[in-house]
Chains A and B, each alone.
Chain A
Amino acid sequence: MVTPNPFSAMFGRSPFQPLLAHIVKANECADQLLPFFEATLAGDWGEAARVRETITRLEHEADELKTELRLNLPSTLFLPVSRSDLLELVSVQDKMANKVRDITGIMLGRSMRMPEPLAQPMRDYMRTAVACVAQARQAMEELEALLESGFGRNVSDVMHRLIRELHVLEQQADGQQVAIRRQLFGLESELPPVDVIFLYKIIDWVGELSDRAERVGSRLQILTAR
């Protein structure tokens, strides 16, 4: 329908605020992973269940933010970045929260308790993965300054530096993954075989979490490139 004032109708709703809100939510979700892990190590399944409920709630809220962003992005909206790149970015961001939920779901469902020798390496490994998510969020926070400067070079440099640090963190996580798998390989004959299979699965999934965080960084680079 014809709107009364073409001038007022021209200013559309910016998708960048919701985008940032989404990754903040995904980061909050990932931050719950370590408390969950500590609860499982202590055998406190009640506490673990409570933390998992928080994770599920945060993941649903992230989903809602993602849906709202998609609904408010008509194809007639003129953006300083590619619309499809933006939609891809929010999908990839969302997958981080989904992965955290999957990891905690299996661990809670099978009442998985990490074997004693693996506890500390696993804790460090998870900490690295969560740090990857936090780094991705930090890079996204530069997006606001980037928009303000009209995609100026000095802000992009800062953003790309943060993304490079994200790559380094992800490689660190990869190294930790190899070490833990080797350790588990040494222990696997002493443990119930089905549990061992699922332990490998959890190690894989935590690795995927840091992979997805790194993918957010790559998508962000693609988004802001000319």
Chain B
Amino acid sequence: MSIIAQHGEIFIILACLFGFFMAWGVGANDVANAMGTSVGSRAITIKQAIIIAVIFEFLGAWLAGGEVTATIRGGIIDPELLEADPQFLVYGMLSALLAAAIWLLIASAKGWPVSTTHSIVGAIVGFGAVGLGLEAVAWGKVGTIASSWVVSPVLAGTIAFVLFKSVQHLIFESHDPFAAAKRYVPVYVFLVGFIVAMVTLTKGLAHVGLDLSFGQSFLLAILLGLAIMGLGILMERRVKYERRADDHFGFSNVERVFGVLMIFTACAMAFAHGSNDVANAVGPLAAVISVVRSDGVIDSAALVPWWVLVLGGGGIVFGLITYGHKVIATVGTGITELTPSRGFAATLAAASTVVLASGTGLPISTTHTLVGAVLGVGLARGMAALNLGVIGTIVMSWLITLPAGAGLSILFFFTFKGIFG
């Protein structure tokens, strides 16, 4: 305990530094995929994508990032068992952050697949199992998290399938697709607003001072959804029918109406991504803070301090502005076969899944969820050509990232143990 009293300030400063660095990495690398479907379908420009991402990643991180951060802070390593040597938790979390951030740098430089979520979870399980002993890790929770990594793409795929089928039946198969689009797109806009608001509100915004009951959350979510739907209706009024010689069904006009809808789904996706991935950076930071502040007593029920989420959100935005915009441009321009109607189905499905995971405190990979969602649209015959080899790439990334994160984290853990005792 005296180690914490001695070096507490250094630990917090180090944790903030590493955490901010990690958040920068998330902003630089990960956001591009979250905005990929929106930019790739040409519904929004790269500049618009960056502005949306800056605003909504921050909001998502701050307003809805609490649950996943709490999981990473104290859900994976059982804090009860560290009563005697709480400084080990500090070493471990610092090493996990450093390991994940360094792995992010190495993998990006070498062009290997990288998932920030898998890096940090692998790193934490690594130092926990090896540095502290196998009984220190809450294997039940780890099992739940691992299964969520498989369930989330499947769930997103299912939702995307259903969404695209509905778009196809309600709009593309009607006698006047443009009129049908104008009629039904506001409903989809409502859905976007409602889902995001509902999950965020019911899981509690207690850390910003807003504690509502389920009924109140439901009503507020409906009101927010209706307000956003109103905004959507105003925006779609500006889309006028343009007759084109080679398009006698008017599908290009339908796509332009969906372009309006995609602005809202892009916001939802940025919000969802921020809410889930901020924890990768600030979850360990929150753990260090709670140990140091309470002088060695680890209280997993305590709320994550609001400024921690703000630091994380700020780091993501900083990474986005300094480097992320280049990656967004690369990912976006590389996608040529995605139209707004498909992009909408995939993005809303992924955003709903991620927001749901954030609400339940499960850290998942946004990239893999998006892949699952796009495959779901493909199953509904919505995509011209998809490479199924990507599934192999995803499995490979699990096999590479998890051990790499764990290995580096174990290394740093024993280093810190050596330095600080």
Interface size band for A: 20 to 34
B222 within 8 A of A: no
A7 with B247: in contact, given A2-B112, A2-B396, A13-B385 (CB under 8 Å)? no
Could you tell me which residues of chain B, from 348 to 391, have a CB within 8 Å of some CB in chain A? 367-368, 370-371, 374-375, 378, 380-390
Task: Render B328-340 as a binary contact track against A, CB cut-off 8 A, 1 for contact.
Answer: 0011001111110
* A10 contacts B334, C-beta separation under 8 Å: no
A91 within 8 A of B: no
Q: Which of A5, A10, A12, A78 has the most CB of B within 10 A?
A: A10
* B249 contacts A155, C-beta separation under 8 Å: yes
Nearest to B370 among chain A residues (CB) is: A7
Checking B175, B251, B334, B390 against A6 with a beta-carbon cut-off of 8 angstroms, the contacting residue is B390
Checking B173, B384, B386, B396 against A10 with a beta-carbon cut-off of 8 angstroms, the contacting residue is B386
Nearest to B40 among chain A residues (CB) is: A11
A115 within 8 A of B: no
* B394 contacts A149, C-beta separation under 8 Å: no
* B335 contacts A8, C-beta separation under 8 Å: yes
| Chain A residue contacts of B378, Cβ below 8 A | 78, 80
| Chain A residue contacts of B113, Cβ below 8 A | 2-6
A79 with B384: in contact, given A5-B33, A149-B173, A150-B168 (CB under 8 Å)? yes
Q: Which of B248, B383, B384 has the most CB of A within 10 A?
A: B384
Min CB gap B328→A, angstroms: 11
Q: How far is the CA of A151 from the CA of B378 in the complex (A)?
A: 12
* A77 contacts B386, C-beta separation under 8 Å: yes
Min CB gap A106→B, angstroms: 38
B158 within 8 A of A: no
Nearest to A4 among chain B residues (CB) is: B111
Checking A2, A8, A78, A149 against B386 with a beta-carbon cut-off of 8 angstroms, the contacting residue is A78
Q: How far is the CA of A79 from the CA of B381 in the complex (A)?
A: 8
* B331 contacts A7, C-beta separation under 8 Å: yes
* B334 contacts A16, C-beta separation under 8 Å: no
B149 within 8 A of A: no
Could you tell me which residues of chain B, from 309 to 340, have a CB within 8 Å of some CB in chain A? 330-331, 334-339
Nearest to B339 among chain A residues (CB) is: A148
* A16 contacts B173, C-beta separation under 8 Å: no
Q: How far is the CA of A150 from the CA of B345 in the complex (A)?
A: 13
Interface size band for B: 35 or more
Q: How far is the CA of A13 from the CA of B380 in the complex (A)?
A: 18
A149 with B168: in contact, given A9-B389, A13-B385 (CB under 8 Å)? yes
* B384 contacts A14, C-beta separation under 8 Å: yes
Nearest to A145 among chain B residues (CB) is: B249
| Chain A residue contacts of B177, Cβ below 8 A | 149
A175 within 8 A of B: no
Task: Render B221-252 as a binary contact track against A, CB cut-off 8 A, 1 for contact.
Answer: 00000000000000000000000000111010
Could you tell me which residues of chain A, from 141 to 162, have a CB within 8 Å of some CB in chain B? 145, 147-155
Min CB gap A223→B, angstroms: 12
Q: How far is the CA of A10 from the CA of B167 in the complex (A)?
A: 23
Min CB gap B259→A, angstroms: 14
Could you tell me which residues of chain B, from 367 to 421, have a CB within 8 Å of some CB in chain A? 367-368, 370-371, 374-375, 378, 380-390, 393-394, 396-397, 400
A9 with B338: in contact, given A14-B384, A154-B249 (CB under 8 Å)? no
Q: How far is the CA of A49 from the CA of B334 in the complex (A)?
A: 45
Besides A16-B384, A150-B167, 20 more A-B contacts (Cβ < 8 Å) are A2-B393, A2-B397, A3-B113, A4-B111, A8-B331, A8-B335, A11-B40, A11-B335, A11-B336, A11-B385, A14-B385, A15-B384, A80-B381, A145-B247, A149-B168, A149-B172, A149-B173, A151-B381, A154-B172, A154-B173
B interface with A by C-beta (< 8 Å): 33, 36, 40, 108, 111-114, 164, 167-168, 172-175, 177, 247-249, 251, 330-331, 334-339, 367-368, 370-371, 374-375, 378, 380-390, 393-394, 396-397, 400
Instruction: List 17 contacting pairs A-B, 8 Å CB cutoff, sorted by A.
Output: A6-B367, A7-B36, A7-B371, A8-B331, A10-B390, A11-B334, A11-B385, A14-B337, A14-B385, A76-B387, A80-B383, A148-B172, A148-B251, A149-B177, A150-B172, A154-B174, A155-B249
